Structures are given as structure tokens and as C-alpha cells.
């Protein structure tokens, strides 16, 4: 709870009241930072950084080859006689506490750190008041083509060899050297530095892109942006964007890098520091009596990796020398980006098996597997939907067809998915339409249903009774003294007496005015939507939709209160394909994610139930095959590859390629489908 005294200015009271949407999920330190930032916005006395001014730093020679010296040191490191920006009345004491003083020693250290990174083969850029000790951004990048990644892996990771892998480092309180960062604990360091990984067609992001990478919008700000931009956003913009593994790498950098560097200064290599972190997180290394020689062993790295990927600035320069933090951070990024298949996506431990893969996965620890499948750790399904919508559609179709025909053997167990009881789908078995353009007869299940007594379910009760008004989206109960059967946010299946074969999946929106319950717009399963017998002629007006009943009709409801793990295998398959029929189309999900750039599918609460989203996450995350859509390249396309792997004589058919191989290997096993 945030509140102010009664005599507080209105601006302060309003600023605190606006924090409710941003506060959930934050720890104490983050809450204090949130309050400080909000209160600072109520006292703007002119000390405001003009974000658009960063455009003056943007280079015009971004398309030149990386090997060329297309920028000079003077562009990045101004002379010492640059006059620092005015503090506009800020006290000198507060300025010392927040920002570094732009002394000659301070500026020389910046030059040395960034020139060291440049000398190791990276491109350097900066935005903001770097040399004045104020808030700024430093970018360090290199071309993808120099990382030794195979062509198959680049296609699977949706990156191009001409693009740049970029690390943006944000210094909100001025540049901090490695010596300063070593003196901070992990939480203090996060207040002085932030890091983001991304891909871009240029070596240096714009100021707007850098700010956007570190910005988390509130619900109101996101709504205003959506109203302004509408649905005009697309993927044609090749500016700074997240890679398929940016989310876990950002977390790894911001949570562990400073601590890992501290372990490196104790003599450990990266591998030993990471193992020690996972084995002894939370202990004081100086007082630890569990130091083991295994943490000091030199890591064996494949000689096929380029020297840019295997370079180690701390080892090469020695622990007694002054090191460049941007260079150390970028080398750590390359370690986990290029070699991402060697590490677990959740705990970042080295994988024990020798499986050569193109896409990363999780280790065998049950907790890592649960976090990957259920909590969305690792590469996000949102990225897959945006980058490869046809592949996601293919995976969903595979799962649906396998479940309908009784061939599905693996299930999303252990994820605590709460689904409707099996009795909620009984009427749908008698109402399944024949699909004309699919070779299987879905009217005849491949496996006979078990008797209800054979089902091991522990919560499939009788349906509840009420009356439902479709036009008002309201449920009303005849007994106002009965207990409210559900809570806000629960999902239910509704069947009305006038059409008991048709199920309506709704989310409970409001229970305050019980016995009247407000629900969301019902989702009708795709199998229950009638297909028009007469095709619609382009340009012809669509037939009017049938009228929506405006009266309260007797109905029954089933709550999503059945644990999926307790169902019989037959009912598990039935539940999977029934819930997949409520899934929005992949095209609609992609459109939503593009429009809601700062949000995931879990915010689309009225269109995706948690159980359906969990199954979608399981379908995408459990796929370890590398499936790539084979584009229908035209000769007019300058980027079209000669001899693209499309089967001859199958024009108009969607084709996919299965690839397998190590990211640094040129050999792969492929097949078309």
C-alpha cells in the first residue's frame, strides 16, 4: 500500500496512487526505486534529458563492413574540455551521490575501457552524457557472420549473417568501471547498471530503441500507445529487437554477471564460476570452506569456435590489471549466445549429454523442466508465434490430430493445469462435424472411451444450474443465499437449454453483485461454428448474424476445477483437442503480440484460459525438432537463395524443413515435409 499524509500535495498523492498497476511482483528494493522515480517526476525543475537528442550520435555509415575503421575515437570520446551539463539548481551533494564527477581520470578510464573493447574486434557506440558522468547508454556489437554459427542454426534462431548482435549497457547514474561494480553487491549493482541483448541491422541502436529496450509500460501507457499506433506495426522494421534467447540472457546478465566476475577474480574460469554460483548461491565465498579444485579446472572448449567467441579478457590481461567491463560483458554474452545449446535455459548449467542440437533446451532437473514448461522460462512462445507462425500452426495441428485419433502418448502432466471435468465434453462427442478436407473420420474415436468408474478424476461433479443472458453476458442464480461457486478470474463452460450441444467458454469477470455474475465474451469452440454451405463471393455482403437471445435462459455450467493429471488418458486426449478448439488462430495471436509489444499472451485473459495457454506452451516448448518453413522464393527477390530446399512440382503447398546439427558445424541432417 502506498499512501501520503493528508497535507501532501496533490501531485504526490496522485503519483502514489498510480503505482498500483506497476507494484505487483516487485521486491522491496524495486518498490523503493519505483516510488523514488515516481516522486521525482512530480518535481521537474528543468533537469530533463532530451531523448531525441541522441539522434545526433547516430552514424551514417552503418552499412559498411565491420572490418573497416568507419569511426574515429574522437566521435566516441570527446575532449576533456567539454563543459559538463548544468544541474539546473540541483545541489552539489545530491549530484555527487547520484552521478560520477567528470574528472580527467574518469574520462580517461572510459576511453581505455571502450578502446580496449574496440581493439578486441567489437564496434562501440554510446548515447547520452557518457563523458559528463550522467545517465547514458553504451552499446557493443559484432556481426553475426563472425560468430561461426551454421546456416541452419541462423535460420532456426531467425537471425541473418549481415545483422549485429548488440549488448546495450545502461548507466542511469553515470558510467561505472569494473572497479566500482566489484565493490557493489548484486542488488546495488542493479541500481547502477542494466543490460539488454538484441539483434539489429545496424551496429548501434538509436536513442529511442535504447530507451524502449529498458522501458516497462504501465497499462494506461500501453493503451495510449495502442490507440496511437493502431495495428500498423509489422515486422519489417529491422531495428533493435529481441532475439529468440534475449529474455533468459537478460536475466542471466542482470542477476548473475557481477557475482560471477567476483568469482573470476578468485581464479575461477567462467565454467567454474557458474558451477560455484549454482552450488553455493547465497554463501559468502570468503568464508566458504567448500572450495573445490573442480571450480578451478580449465574449461575444454571446441577449437571450431572463432577466437572472438572463446577470448577471455580477464584471463588474458591477468587479474591484477584494469579490465574493461563492456568487453567482459560482451564476451560473456557470446559464450551463452553462440553456445546456447550447451547450457540449460533455466539454471544455465552445462548440459551433461552430448546431444548435438540446433535449439537450446533445459537440463534433467525437475524444477528446470517445470519452470520451462509452466512458468515460461527460456525462449518465449510469443517470440516463436511472431517469428514462425506457420511452424507454430503446424505443431498445434499435429497435436490436435494426434489427440483426436487417440495416438497422443505424451501429455502435459506435472503442470497443475486446471481444466473442465470430463463430463463437460460428453455432449460434444455427438455433435462433431465431418471435416471434408481432412482424411480422417473424427466422428469415430480411435480409442473407445472408458467407463466413468474407470476414470481416476477427483473433482468431476455434477454441473451447476443457473440462467444465462447472452446479450448482457450475465449469469443469475435463483437462490441468492447460496455460496458463490467461483471467484473472479475462474473459467467456466456454459451450456444453455435451447442449445445443449454448444459449449461456451467464459471467464468470470465480476462476482460483486451475486446472485448476478458478469462473464466475458464467450468463446465458441471451432468445431461448433457452422461452416456456410454457399461460399461467400468477394465483395458480397455477409449474411446477417443470428439474433442473440436477450432473455435469461436456463443453463448449466462446469468450472475449470479438474486437475488434468488426474484424468484417464482417454479424457486427457479429449480435453486437449477440446481446449485447442477454443484457441485463437495463430494469426490473431501474432497480431495481438505485435500490437502489445510489452505484453505476453498471459495478458489476453478473456481469450485464453490458463489451461489453454499452458497447453499451447507445452506444445511449443516440448518440440525439440528444428522445423523451418521453406519460403517460396522468387527470382525477383535479391535475397532469395539459389537452390532453396523446396520440392519440385509442389507449387502452392506449404513446405517445411527439419534440420539437426551443432550450431558451429556445417553438417546437418535435413528432410522436407
Per-run averaged pLDDT (10 residues), the chain, 673 residues: 79 78 77 79 47 38 43 44 36 43 87 93 92 91 92 83 94 90 83 92 92 73 53 55 87 91 90 87 58 82 88 83 91 93 85 69 78 68 84 92 89 86 72 43 53 49 84 88 88 88 90 90 79 52 57 89 89 91 91 79 88 89 78 51 64 77 42 46
In the block, cell 566500482 appears at 180
326, 249: one domain: yes
Q: Judge if 357 and 403 occupy the same domain.
A: no
Instruction: List C-alpha distances in Å: 300 to 61, 150, 306.
Output: 39, 21, 14
Rounded distance between C-alpha atoms, residue 290 and residue 207, angstroms: 46
pLDDT the model gives residue 219:
52
Query: Do 329 and 169 meet the contact criterion of CB atoms below 8 Å apart?
Result: yes
For residue 528, what pLDDT is reported?
65
Tell me, yes or no, whether 356 and 475 share the same domain. Answer: no
- 661, part of any domain: no
Residue at 647 is within a domain: no
In this structure, is residue 603 part of a structural domain?
Answer: yes
Return the pLDDT at 381: 79
Same domain, 59 and 121: yes
What distance in Å separates the CA atoms of residue 187 and residue 32, rounded to the nearest whole number? 12
Residue 644: inside a domain = no
Same domain, 157 and 31: no
Please tell me whether the overall predicted TM-score, pTM, comes out greater than 0.75 for this model. Answer: no
Looking at the structure, tell me whether residues 273 and 355 fall in a common domain: yes
Report the Cα–Cα distance between both ends of the chain, in Å, rounded: 56
Burial environment of residue 42 by CB neighbours within 10 A (0 to 12, 13 to 18, 19 or more) = middle
> How many whole angstroms separate alpha carbon 319 and alpha carbon 77?
26
Same domain, 182 and 262: yes
DSSP string, 388-447: -HHHHHHHHHHHHHHHHTT------TTS--EE--GGGGGGGGGSPPPPTTSSS-TTS-SS
Q: Assess whether 71 and 207 both reside in one domain.
A: yes
Any domain includes 369: no
Same domain? 186 vs 281 = yes
Pair (425, 509) in one structural domain: yes
Please indicate, yes or no, whether residues 84 and 157 belong to a single structural domain of this protein.
yes
Confidence (pLDDT) at 48: 40
Distance from C-alpha of 463 to C-alpha of 466, rounded to nearest angstrom: 10
Beta-carbon contacts of residue 21 (< 8 Å; ≥ 6 apart): 218, 219, 220
Q: With H, G, I as helix, E, B as strand and everything else as coil, classify residue 605.
A: coil
Residues contacting residue 451 through CB under 8 Å, at least 6 positions apart: none
CA dihedral 508, 513, 516, 521 (to 10 degrees): -30
Domain end marker among 617, 651, 666: 617
**Domain assignment of residue 223, yes or no:** no
Contact indicator for 255, 186 with CB cutoff of 8 Å: yes
CA 320 to chain centroid, in Å, comes to: 39
Of 42, 48, 36, the residue nearest 13 (C-alpha):
42
Residue with cell 465431418: 434
Per the structure, the complete domain to which residue 522 belongs is given by 388-529+545-617
pLDDT of amino acid 1: 75
Is the domain of 315 the same as that of 395? no
- Residue 116's pLDDT is 93
671 assigned to some structural domain: no
Domain assignment present for 343: yes
Q: What is the reported pLDDT for 121?
A: 92
Q: What is the pLDDT of residue 39?
A: 79
Residue burial 378-389, b: 16+ Cβ < 10 Å; e: rest: bbbbbbbbbbbb
Order of all β-strands in the sheet with 626-630: 626-630, 655-660, 669-672
* Number of domains composing the chain: 3
**Per-residue confidence (pLDDT) for residue 190, from 0 to 100:** 85
- Does residue 114 have a cis bond before it (omega within 30 degrees)? no
Amino acid at each position: 500500500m502506498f499512501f501520503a499524509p493528508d497535507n501532501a500535495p496533490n501531485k504526490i498523492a496522485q503519483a502514489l496512487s498510480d503505482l498500483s498497476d506497476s507494484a505487483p511482483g516487485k521486491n522491496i528494493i524495486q518498490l523503493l526505486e519505483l516510488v523514488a522515480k515516481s516522486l521525482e517526476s512530480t518535481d521537474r525543475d528543468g533537469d530533463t534529458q532530451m531523448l531525441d537528442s541522441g539522434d545526433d550520435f547516430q552514424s551514417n555509415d552503418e552499412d559498411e563492413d565491420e572490418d573497416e575503421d568507419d569511426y574515429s575515437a574522437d566521435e566516441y570520446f570527446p575532449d576533456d574540455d567539454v563543459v559538463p551539463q548544468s544541474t539546473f539548481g540541483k545541489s552539489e551533494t545530491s549530484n555527487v551521490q547520484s552521478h560520477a564527477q567528470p574528472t580527467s581520470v574518469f574520462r580517461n578510464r572510459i576511453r581505455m575501457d571502450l578502446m580496449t573493447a574496440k581493439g578486441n574486434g567489437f564496434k562501440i557506440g554510446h548515447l547520452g552524457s557518457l563523458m559528463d558522468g550522467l545517465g547514458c547508454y553504451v552499446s557493443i556489437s559484432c556481426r553475426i557472420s563472425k560468430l561461426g554459427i551454421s546456416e541452419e542454426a541462423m535460420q532456426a534462431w531467425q537471425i541473418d549473417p549481415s545483422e549485429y548482435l548488440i549488448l546495450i549497457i545502461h548507466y542511469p547514474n553515470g558510467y561505472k568501471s569494473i572497479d566500482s561494480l566489484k565493490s557493489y553487491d548484486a542488488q546495488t549493482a542493479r541500481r547502477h547498471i542494466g543490460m539488454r541483448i538484441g539483434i539489429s541491422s545496424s551496429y548501434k541502436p538509436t536513442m529511442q530503441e535504447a530507451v524502449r529496450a529498458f522501458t516497462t509500460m504501465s497499462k494506461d501507457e500501453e493503451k495510449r500507445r495502442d490507440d496511437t499506433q493502431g495495428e500498423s506495426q509489422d515486422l519489417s522494421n529491422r531495428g533493435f529487437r529481441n532475439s529468440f534467447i534475449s529474455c533468459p540472457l537478460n536475466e542471466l546478465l542482470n542477476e548473475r554477471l557481477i557475482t560471477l566476475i567476483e568469482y573470476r577474480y578468485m581464479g575461477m574460469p567462467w565454467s567454474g564460476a557458474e558451477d560455484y554460483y549454482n552450488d553455493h548461491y547465497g554463501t559468502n565465498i570468503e568464508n566458504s570452506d567448500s572450495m573445490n579444485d573442480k571450480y578451478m579446472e580449465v574449461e575444454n572448449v571446441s577449437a571450431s569456435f572463432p577466437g572472438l567467441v572463446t577470448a577471455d579478457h580477464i584471463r588474458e590481461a591477468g587479474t591484477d590489471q584494469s579490465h574493461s567491463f563492456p568487453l567482459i560483458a560482451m564476451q560473456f554474452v557470446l559464450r551463452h549466445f553462440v553456445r546456447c545449446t550447451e547450457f540449460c535455459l533455466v539454471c544455465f548449467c552445462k548440459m551433461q549429454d552430448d546431444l548435438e542440437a540446433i535449439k537450446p533446451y533445459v537440463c534433467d532437473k525437475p524444477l528446470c523442466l517445470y519452470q520451462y514448461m509452466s512458468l515460461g522460462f527460456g525462449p518465449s512462445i510469443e517470440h516463436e508465434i511472431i517469428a514462425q507462425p506457420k511452424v507454430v500452426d503446424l505443431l498445434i495441428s499435429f497435436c490436435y490430430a494426434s489427440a483426436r485419433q487417440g495416438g497422443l502418448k505424451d501429455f502435459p502432466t506435472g503442470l497443475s493445469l486446471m481444466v473442465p471435468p470430463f463430463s463437460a465434453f460428453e455432449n460434444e462427442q455427438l455433435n462433431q462435424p465431418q471435416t471434408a478436407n481432412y482424411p480422417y473420420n473424427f466422428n469415430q474415436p480411435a480409442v473407445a472411451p472408458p467407463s466413468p468408474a474407470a476414470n481416476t478424476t477427483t473433482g468431476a461433479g455434477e454441473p451447476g444450474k443457473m440462467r444465462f443472458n447472452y446479450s448482457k453476458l450475465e449469469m443469475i442464480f435463483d437462490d441468492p443465499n447460496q455460496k458463490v461457486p467461483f471467484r473472479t478470474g475462474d473459467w467456466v463452460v456454459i451450456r444453455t437449454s435451447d442449445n445443449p450441444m454448444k459449449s461456451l467458454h467464459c471467464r468470470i469477470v465480476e462476482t460483486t453483485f451475486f446472485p448476478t455474475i458478469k462473464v466475458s465474451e464467450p468463446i465458441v469452440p471451432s468445431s461448433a461454428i457452422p461452416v456456410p454451405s454457399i461460399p461467400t463471393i468477394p465483395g458480397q455482403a455477409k449474411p446477417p448474424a443470428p439474433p442473440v437471445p436477450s432473455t435469461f435462459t436456463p443453463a448449466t455450467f462446469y468450472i475449470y476445477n479438474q486437475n488434468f493429471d488426474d484424468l484417464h488418458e482417454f479424457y486427457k486426449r479429449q480435453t486437449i483437442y477440446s481446449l485447442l478448439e477454443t484457441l485463437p488462430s495463430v494469426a490473431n495471436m501474432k497480431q495481438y503480440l505485435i500490437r502489445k509489444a510489452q505484453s505476453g499472451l498471459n495478458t489476453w485473459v478473456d481469450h485464453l484460459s490458463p489451461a489453454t495457454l499452458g497447453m499451447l506452451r507445452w506444445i511449443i516448448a516440448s518440440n525439440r525438432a528444428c522445423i523451418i518453413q521453406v519460403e517460396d522464393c522468387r527470382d525477383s527477390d535479391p535475397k532469395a537463395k539459389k537452390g532453396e530446399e523446396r520440392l519440385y512440382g509442389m507449387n502452392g503447398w506449404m513446405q517445411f524443413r527439419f534440420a539437426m546439427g551443432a550450431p558451429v558445424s556445417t553438417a546437418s541432417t535435413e528432410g522436407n515435409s
